[in-house]
Structure 1
C-alpha cells in the first residue's frame, strides 16, 4: 500500500516493483517476538532477498496486503516465515517510520508499525525468507545494538533505540492505541 506523508493510502503496487533507488513511501510492519525469559527471537534474512540479504534483524517484517489489517498481516507472515501460529500481538510503536539506502542504491521507505509478541518454543523458518535464527537476551542485545557492537538491519537498529526507552523488560512495555497507526493502517 503506497502512502502519502500523512500515512493515508494513495494506491497499491506490487512489492517486487517497489524497492529500488526511488522507493515510494509504503506501509510495512515489524515484529519482535520474545519468550517468557525475555529473549528476543532474531532472524537472519535469506541470502537471496532483494533488500539486506543475510542481515540479522528483528523476528519478522513484511507488508500488509491491500485492505488487510496490519495485525492480521503480522500473524500471516509469522506463519509463512517462521511457522508460528496463534501469537498474541501488542502494538508498541504505531507510528515508526524510516528510510534506509543499501550500498547498491536500493532504498527502503516505510511507515512501519512495530508489534511485540510472546512465543514458546523455536520457530520453523521458511528458507525462502529466513536463513537462520537465534535467541538473544533483550537486556544484552539492545545495549549491544545501541553501542554499535551488534550489527543489525537499519530499521532494527532504529526500532531498538525506541524500544529500549520503554525499559529493559520487554514483557512490561506499554501498548499503544490503534488510533495512533497511520491512517492507511487503521482498517
Structure 2
C-alpha cells in the first residue's frame, strides 16, 4: 500500500526508519519538519525519517533520504534497534503506526557531509544541533513541539550505547 494509505486512521503498522546524526561533541541534529508535511508539520524531529520502498533495505532507504532531505552523503549508518509506536496528528487526522528502525550516523566534520544549499524546503523548515541532555529537558517541558516518536528513538539509541 502507499504511505498515504498506511497513515489514514486508524493507521496500519508498517516499516519505517529514523536517522540520528551525532556530531563529535555528542550533539544530535534535529530538523523542524516543513509546514507542508502531512503529519506533524513544524514539529522538531530527528535528522530524517522515511519508509523503505518495496525491496529496498532500511539502510539504503535511510542513506537515500539523507541525501534527498538534507544533502548529506557518505555517512555510514548502523541500526541500533527498533521503536514501535502509534500516534495521531491532531492537526491532520493522520496516524503514525510504525515499526521504526533506528539508525545512527556519526558525523565528526559536518562540512564534509553536507552539500551547500541542498536542504529540501519541502521537507525541512530548520535545523539545529542540540545536546542530548538539553533535548531531553525540552521534550519533558514542551512535548507538543516535537514529533511523537523522537523521545522513543533517542531512548533506543541511548540504550544501545549503555
TM-score w.r.t. the length of structure 2 is 0.86
* CA distance in structure 2 between the aligned counterparts of 1:86 and 1:159, rounded to whole angstroms: 22
1:34-183 matches, cutoff 5 A: 34-93=22-81, 95-103=82-90, 104-119=92-107, 120-121=109-110, 123=114, 124-145=118-139, 147-149=140-142, 151-166=145-160, 173=161
What number of residue pairs does the alignment pair up? Answer: 154
Q: Is the counterpart of residue 33 in structure 1 residue 21 in structure 2? A: yes
Q: Name which of 12, 37, 43 aligns with 1:24.
A: 12
CA shift, 1:100, in A, is 0.4
* CA distance in structure 2 between the aligned counterparts of 1:159 and 1:72, rounded to whole angstroms: 19
Over aligned residues, Cα RMSD in angstroms?
Answer: 1.8
Rg (Cα) greater in structure: 1
Runs of 4 or more, structure 1, over 4 Å off, are none
TM-score w.r.t. the length of structure 1 is 0.75
* CA distance in structure 2 between the aligned counterparts of 1:149 and 1:52, rounded to whole angstroms: 15
Unaligned 5+ residue runs, structure 1? 1-12, 167-172, 175-187
